[in-house]
Amino acid sequence: MSRKRKRKGVSPILKDLADKVTAEGTTDKFLFNPKGEISMSDAISQLIEPYIDDAPNYNSFNNLVAFACIAWNTSVLPDSQRNEALGKMVDILPGKREDRLEALALLTGLIDRKRKLFPNVTRVIMEHKVTDLGNDFHIAIASTLEKKGVRK
């Protein structure tokens, strides 16, 4: 199933997400796809691309995007904090141990993929929103700006 996104100015979906992030006090300034920066929704779309066939409906796709955002944020942590965070995630995930280990495998796969595709992008995802457009899903991401000069 092919998913295509339209790009025309600031969509109402992005505007709604910006209003939500601003209202929550997470940030007092919001930029849409800052010039010279990668589109985080495009980055997440690339990140989840191998897993899309396993997420044919809204709930499974939304969960996949949520896992991708968690994996992204975990990937930008220093190694020692990343391992600790993954350990804590396994402990708090609901379900049987096998299900938690499967979720951990998905997270580590997404982390590895992020580090290969976007090794120097250290932006942190603050919020995400998936909208069902009928024959497509739209991903909107609010993130921090890249800290220039920061290298991993």
Look-up: residue for tokens 């997270």?
Answer: 107
Q: What is the DSSP letter of 49?
A: G
More confident residue, 98 or 10: 98
Q: How many folded domains does the chain comprise?
A: 1
The model's pLDDT over 81-95, given as tens digits with 9 standing for 90+, comes to: 988 888 788 778 778
What is the pTM assigned to this prediction?
0.75
71 occurs within a structural domain: yes
User: What value does the mean pLDDT take over residues 64-68?
Assistant: 95
The model's pLDDT over 119-144, given as tens digits with 9 standing for 90+, comes to: 999 999 999 999 999 888 999 998 88
- The crossing angle, in degrees rounded to 10, of helices 58-75 and 97-117 is 60
120 occurs within a structural domain: yes
- Give the integer Cα–Cα distance in Å for 145 and 126: 11
Does residue 80 have a pLDDT over 60? yes
4 occurs within a structural domain: no
> Among 24, 23, 41, which residue's Cα sits nearest to residue 32?
41
102 occurs within a structural domain: yes
The model's pLDDT over 13-62, given as tens digits with 9 standing for 90+, comes to: 555 555 555 555 555 455 556 667 789 999 999 999 999 999 999 999 99
28 occurs within a structural domain: yes
Look-up: residue for tokens 């990343």?
Answer: 82
152 occurs within a structural domain: no
61 occurs within a structural domain: yes
- Give the integer Cα–Cα distance in Å for 141 and 125: 7
123 occurs within a structural domain: yes
Note whether 121 and 141 are within 8 A (CB).
no
Helix boundaries (H) for the chain:
12-23, 40-48, 58-75, 79-92, 97-117
- Give the integer Cα–Cα distance in Å for 137 and 2: 10
Does residue 107 have a pLDDT over 50? yes
**Residue-range definition of the domain harbouring residue 111:** 12-143
Mean pLDDT of the chain: 80
